[in-house]
Structures are given as structure tokens and as C-alpha cells.
């Protein structure tokens, strides 16, 4: 087997919301595989934290301030990236938001906000890069889905609705543009160790016990666990994989749980 199939040398990768956490890890893996790394975030101060993080890792990254829910801003950013870095070969729709509120207490405004960031923004970003991918006869789009693309849970109605929609958007992009040698797949992370989940992972916290007991791997995932799957889906090794959601969840979705 030719291991160069996994090389991203000469490719330009844009990962949205990649100043920290999952997005930063994925872009770090792309850099190690040879790609030119591009990222965007909503505010200048967050973007600067991203620059600092990449610099500490020895990665030259190109960063842009952009509201990915704004079609005009995204179009302008993509044009700048093509001019300053090169045509985008790989798009990872990673930027996301969650609001944990019981459904009957959640405002329609907040529901729409979550859907706008987690579903409409990936549509906008994919729409912006697909024409160039068609012209060049190749492209990779990776949508960061969730186990909530398959499961429901209390207080996350908007997030689950958006991620379920993102799963179907992934399949539809595959259906519409697979003939142009564009592969659109998703990654569905399980419960991952990030700064946002740190309070929940404290020893003795009931949610920490719940997640570990529900995961056959008996641990939380790490951002490093997502690196290999991301490189696979971004590389030539996955050229005949399309419309697939790769769940990186330690086995949660396969497991009914221990008998009480």
C-alpha cells in the first residue's frame, strides 16, 4: 500500500473555528501531513489566541476574522484565501455553538441562533468553495457532526436538530457533487476532553461517571483521537468514501449500557 495516499502535501485546508480545541487539533494534523493551514474565527482576540497556539506548535497558519453565518463575509474570505494562500482543497466545517436549555424554556431566537451557526454556516461555507472544487475536479469537505446527529438528549433540542440536519446536508452534498470528484463526509465526535468539558470531567462529577460508564472505551476522547480520522477523510485514501459519518465516540453509539 502506498502510504502517500495519506499525504496532504500541496493542499490548502480551511478549518472554521480552529483557534483551539477540536479545530486546532485537526489543523495540526493537516500540517503534519503537509497541508497549508488556514483558520477563521469570529473575533480578533480569539483569532490571535489561535495564531499564538499555532506558533507554539511550530505551524505557520493563515487566519481570518469571519462570521461564517454571513454569506458575504464568507465569500470575501474565500476570495482572499485563494489570492493569498491558494484554492481551498479541504474545508472542515468545525465552528459550532450549543445552548443547553430545556426546549419549553428556549426562545425561538436562541433556537435559530444554534441552527444558524451549526447548520446554515456549513451550507454557506460549502457553497462558497464548491465552484472552485468543480473547476479543479477535486475537493474534500468534512462536516463536524455529533452523536446528536443520531441521538436526542434533554436540553439540546436546537443542537440535535442542527446536527441531524448537518448529517443530511453531508449526504446531499455527496449526492449532488460526487460526480465532480468531491467527497463530503462527516466526523461525529463522542465526548471529548476540551476546555469546555473540563468542569464536567472532575472526579466525582455525576456526568463524568455517566459518560465513562456509557463508553465501551471507558474514557473520554481526546482531540488527538480525531486527528487520524480527519487526515483520512481529507486525503486520497478516502476518494471512494462519500456521504459517510465517521463516529469517533469510543463505541457509545454501539452500546446499550450495562445492566443495572
Could you list the active site residues?
159
Quote the crossing angle between the two packed helices 71-84 and 121-136, to the nearest 10°: 40
The residue among 196, 216, 197, 194 whose CA lies nearest residue 208 is 197
Location of C-alpha cell 480569539 = 46
CA distances (Å), origin 47, targets 22, 51, 81, 87, 208: 15, 6, 16, 21, 31
Q: Is residue 241 a contact partner of residue 166, using CB atoms and an 8 Å limit?
A: no
Which triple of cell numbers denotes residue 73?
Answer: 463575509
Amino acid at each position: 500500500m502506498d502510504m502517500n495516499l495519506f499525504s496532504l502535501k500541496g493542499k490548502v485546508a480551511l478549518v472554521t473555528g480552529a483557534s483551539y480545541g477540536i479545530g486546532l487539533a485537526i489543523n495540526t494534523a493537516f500540517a503534519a501531513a503537509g497541508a497549508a493551514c488556514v483558520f477563521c474565527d469570529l473575533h480578533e482576540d480569539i483569532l490571535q489566541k489561535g495564531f499564538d497556539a499555532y506558533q507554539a506548535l511550530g505551524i505557520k497558519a493563515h487566519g481570518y476574522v469571519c462570521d461564517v453565518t454571513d454569506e458575504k463575509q464568507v465569500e470575501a474570505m474565500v476570495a482572499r484565501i485563494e489570492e493569498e494562500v491558494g484554492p481551498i482543497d479541504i474545508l472542515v466545517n468545525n465552528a459550532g455553538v450549543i445552548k443547553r436549555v430545556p426546549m419549553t424554556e428556549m426562545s425561538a431566537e436562541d433556537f435559530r441562533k444554534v441552527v444558524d451557526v451549526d447548520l446554515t454556516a456549513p451550507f454557506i461555507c460549502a457553497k462558497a468553495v464548491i465552484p472552485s472544487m468543480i473547476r479543479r475536479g477535486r475537493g474534500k469537505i468534512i462536516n463536524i457532526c455529533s452523536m446528536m446527529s443520531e441521538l436526542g438528549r434533554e436540553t439540546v433540542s436546537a443542537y440535535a436538530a442542527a446536527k441531524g440536519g448537518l448529517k443530511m446536508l453531508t449526504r446531499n452534498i455527496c449526492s449532488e457533487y460526487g460526480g465532480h470528484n468531491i467527497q463530503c463526509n462527516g466526523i461525529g465526535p463522542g465526548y471529548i476532553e476540551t476546555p469546555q468539558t473540563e468542569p464536567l470531567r472532575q472526579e466525582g462529577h455525576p456526568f463524568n461517571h455517566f459518560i465513562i460508564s456509557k463508553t465501551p472505551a471507558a474514557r473520554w476522547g481526546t482531540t488527538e483521537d480525531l486527528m487520524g480520522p480527519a487526515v483520512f477523510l481529507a486525503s486520497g485514501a478516502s476518494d471512494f468514501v462519500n456521504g459517510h459519518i465517521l463516529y469517533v465516540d469510543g463505541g457509545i453509539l454501539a452500546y446499550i449500557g450495562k445492566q443495572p
